[in-house]
Amino acid sequence: MKTLCIVHVFYPEFWPELATCIRYVEGPIDVIATYVDDTKGIPEMVRRDFPSARCILCENRGFDIWPFLKALQTVNLQDYSILLKLHTKRNVKRDGRPLIFNNCDFSENVWRDYLLGFIHDAAAWRATKARLELPNVGMVADRHVILRRDDTPWFKTRRTMDLAISLIRDLYGVSVRHGAQFVAGTMFAARPSVFAKMLNHKWTADDFTESVHDDTEQKAHILERALGIAVSAEGLRIDSFDGHLGLWRAAMAVRGFLLSTLEFLWSDSKQTSERRIIKVFGISVYRSGHRSGIPEEENCVVVEPPHNPLSYADMLNAYALRETARHAGRIVRVIGDKPCKISPFGWNLLRRIRSRRFLKKFLKPVVGKAPKGSERADMGPNPVRLAKVDSCWLNLASSRADGGKTLFVHFRKRSKENIAAARAFAKDHSAKVKFFFDDSGCGGPIQYVDAVVNSTWVMTDTELGADFATAFGKDIVAPLSQGGIHAG
């Protein structure tokens, strides 16, 4: 039996790396190369390495997923015992910042290295082939890129996983409730038979939209997960080529627990002067030291405490500046001209208690002079979006999405009209409502970020609410007659 390799060549400069990997495959192999630009000489380049390769020109839609399905529809799966799916994946540009999921940093070229781990040398390929021969294994990849629903920290990817499960239920007639996994980046070796029912739907280019990297709910991203869930639907599982997936996940869980314990025990001064632990949805997953060789006073950033501790905007802007500086490896001091305290007594008691707790736990402002030579942080035009770019809000958001629809509401003033408008919209869309009003106690900054991250729509007449909606890709729906900011 032959091996079928379907490789999508979008970035020609990465083809030599893939060609080297494909040569490690032992035995007869058919290579199908898909491409979207007929001006780059991709067919000629591929055939120089594999003269019998078949090349298919595809529409530039659906990333590497539509080309894969298009090629898959041109072959008889029963003619092959192993199916390889590869594509040219570029580096993930992060400007020195980590891209964390599955307890690993995937920035720069690391993601591609993980994806090719199962075939990066002859020994890895032999191990991959041996795993596929096990009766209960249907797909093999590197353990770092095999993800479950809750292994991704982003709220949208979890919702996309649920959509993929629904798609597989329609195509395979099986509801995969437990054990659903997928390969993040879709490079793997699999049994061709697991995709037979996937082809019952006659896929065309019209099923896919133009590729948009920031939209995780387009059909290509749903199918990325569906390709893995199809393995579970056939009663099989995805495994790492080295066979230690479960053990590795257990080790990562213990590692996360230990790092979280260390962070809890360390004092703030020790964290800021020695190392930084970055938390993703409450789990410590990445540690980085400060820039070495630079005196402390020259590596220090001074952030002003919030001018009004009862203001969502002031509290979160101060936090955004603090975390942006810390992610850049800078020592941060929150220093004010006078003690930044808030009495737990007075109007809006609950709001005051929560704001006071946020000040003490997350900002820890002090009174005194800034270290000589230190840099003062500038609020900038939009620190909320700046913080989103630097992934700072991941320290706050818990992503407790339950799969239901939620309307996040933030208005300056509580009024019967605002409440009625929000509830009417929620009723029409069978959604829950989470209210925030600037003139009444309704939760602290942590609750605010958690609510907006896990919402489906945002209704607001505040710039802060609109900035958060834009940063996290939420649809803003607000009655224009009531001063709402409307963006679609």
Residue 413 and residue 301 share a domain: no
**Contact (Cβ atoms closer than 8 angstroms) between residue 82 and residue 140:** no
Cα 379 to Cα 381: distance, rounded to the nearest angstrom: 7
Check whether residue 90 and residue 190 sit in a common domain.
Answer: yes
Confirm whether 264 is domain-assigned.
no
| 174-201 per-position pLDDT tens digit | 988 777 899 999 999 999 999 999 999 9
Give the chain's mean pLDDT: 80
Looking up tokens 């910042």, which residue turns up? 97
Please write the tens of the pLDDT for every residue from 362-410.
788 888 777 777 877 766 556 666 555 555 555 555 545 555 788 999 8
User: Of 414 and 20, which is predicted with more confidence?
Assistant: 20
- Distance of alpha carbon 392 from alpha carbon 384, whole angstroms: 9
Over residues 419-444, mean pLDDT: 83
Contact in structure between 240 and 142 (CB atoms under 8 Å): yes
- The mean pLDDT value for 105-120 works out to 88
CATH number of the domain at 93, please: 3.90.550
pLDDT of residue 329: 64
The whole-angstrom separation of Cα 416 and Cα 90 is 52
* For residues 459-465, average pLDDT: 85
High-pLDDT (> 70) share of the chain, %: 76
pLDDT score for 413: 83
pLDDT band at 64 (very low <50, low <70, confident <90, very high): very high
Is residue 91, in this structure, part of any structural domain at all?
Answer: yes
Span 310-317, mean pLDDT?
A: 80
CA 454 to CA 405: how far, in whole Å? Answer: 9
The pLDDT of residue 93: 76
Query: Is residue 278 in a domain?
Result: no
Are 415 and 369 in the same domain? Answer: no
The verdict on residue 10 lying in a domain is yes
Residue 287: the pLDDT is 45
- 316 in the same domain as 233: no
- pLDDT for 179 equals 79
Q: Check residue 391 and give its pLDDT.
A: 52
Q: pLDDT (tens digit, 9 = 90+) per residue, 218-266? A: 789 899 999 999 999 999 999 999 888 888 888 877 876 776 665 555 4
Q: Half-sphere exposure of residue 221, counting CA atoms within 13 Å on the CB side?
A: 18
Q: What is the count of structural domains for the chain?
A: 3
In this predicted structure, what is the pLDDT of residue 470? 78
Residues 98 and 231 in one domain: yes
Structural domain harbouring 237: 2-243
pLDDT-derived band at 123 (thresholds 50, 70, 90) equals very high
pTM of the predicted structure, to 2 decimals: 0.59
- The pLDDT of 270-288, averaged and rounded, is 43
Please indicate whether residue 133 or residue 474 has the higher confidence score (pLDDT).
Answer: 133
Asked which of 243, 263, 281 is the last residue of a domain, the reply is: 243
Residue 336 has pLDDT above 80, yes or no: no
Cβ neighbours of residue 64 closer than 8 Å, sequence gap 6 or more: 8, 10, 85, 87, 186
Provide, rounded to the nearest whole percent, the portion of the chain with pLDDT above 90.
37
188 occurs within a structural domain: yes
Position 60 pLDDT exceeds 80: yes
Domain shared by 355 and 455, yes or no: no
* pLDDT at residue 451 greater than cutoff 50: yes
Selected residue with higher pLDDT from 417 and 239: 239
Q: Tell me, what's the pLDDT at 397?
A: 55
Same-domain check for residues 116 and 14: yes
Cα 252 to Cα 27, 150, 245, 300: the distances in Å are 36, 14, 11, 33
| 428, 385: one domain | no
Return the HEC string of 453-474: HCCCEEEECCHHHHHHHHHCCC
Phi, psi of 138 (to 5 degrees): -115, -15
Q: Is the pLDDT of residue 74 over 80?
A: yes
In this structure, the number of other CB atoms found within 10 A of the CB of residue 233 comes to 23
In a domain, 370, yes or no: yes
Claim to verify: residue 318 and residue 190 sit in the same structural domain: no
Residue 291's pLDDT band (cuts 50, 70, 90): very low
What is the pLDDT, as a whole number, of residue 269? 37
- Here the CATH number for the domain that contains residue 447 is 3.40.50.2300
> Are 339 and 445 part of one and the same domain?
no
Please, what's the b/e burial string for 264-295 (b: 16 or more CB within 10 A of its CB; e: otherwise)? eeeeeeeebeeebbbbbbebbbbebebeeeee
Which residues have a Cβ under 8 Å from the Cβ of 33 and sit 6 or more positions away?
Answer: 7, 8, 9, 42, 43, 46, 53, 54, 55, 56
Q: How confident is the model at residue 70 (pLDDT cuts 50, 70, 90)?
A: very high
- Per-residue pLDDT tens digits for 321-335: 777 676 666 778 888
Is residue 156 within 8 A of residue 474, CB to CB? The reply is no
For residue 421, give both structure tokens. 């408008």
In a domain? residue 16: yes
One domain, residues 390 and 410: no
Q: Kindly tell me if the per-residue pLDDT of 155 is higher than 80.
A: no
Residue 290 has pLDDT above 50, yes or no: no
User: Which of 395, 416, 448 is where one domain is finished?
Assistant: 395
**pLDDT > 50? residue 277:** no
Confidence of residue 475 (pLDDT cuts 50, 70, 90): confident
Residue 119 sits in the same domain as residue 45: yes
Domain termination residue (choose one: 206, 221, 243): 243
On whether residue 266 sits in a domain, the answer given is no
User: Residues with Cβ < 8 Å from 378, sequence gap 6 or more?
Assistant: none
